[in-house]
Amino acid sequence: MTDARTQERLHVTGRPSWDAYFIRMAHLAATRSTCLRRRVGAVIVKDRMVLATGYNDTPRGVPNCGEGGCGRCASDVPSGTSHDTCLCLHAEMNCVVQAAYHGVAIAGGTIYVTYQPCLICAKMLLNVGLKRIVFEGTYPDPLALDMLKNADVELVHYAGEEIST
């Protein structure tokens, strides 16, 4: 939900808030995903500068989901389960790995994700020192959500805002 000041600024300028801007970038990153079950994107930002992007996909050199790389994606296991059989990296993981691969420090930053992080990703995001997690869609992992709510991190469930394009 946006406050009155933000709504007035949008009305006058037509510019999105920083959260809207970066969550849109996360949605753009999600378009690169090859996952057959859920396309997720993530963007890590610090001081309003994009540091890394990521989307869910198989590791380098492994056939992607559409090519038969990950059997879990083609199965009917319930969402949020059997992560130990999935070959894909989640968008958040790929974002952190991309930053590390290029030697980019992300501690103190914010991650924007199109869905709530799972427990594995939530633990990783806390340990790399991100201070703010902004997510849009829900994910069936109440333990991850509880842990994030109780951690020393600002957790924002982004509700969106109208933006003229």
Tens of pLDDT, residue by residue, the chain (165 residues): 556 666 655 556 789 999 999 999 999 999 999 888 889 999 999 999 999 999 999 999 988 887 877 777 777 887 777 777 778 899 999 999 999 999 999 999 999 999 999 999 999 999 999 999 999 999 999 999 999 999 999 999 999 875 554
Of 92, 154, 161, 162, the active-site residue reads: 92
- The model carries a pTM of 0.85
Two tokens at 72?
A: 């879990």
92 is catalytic: yes
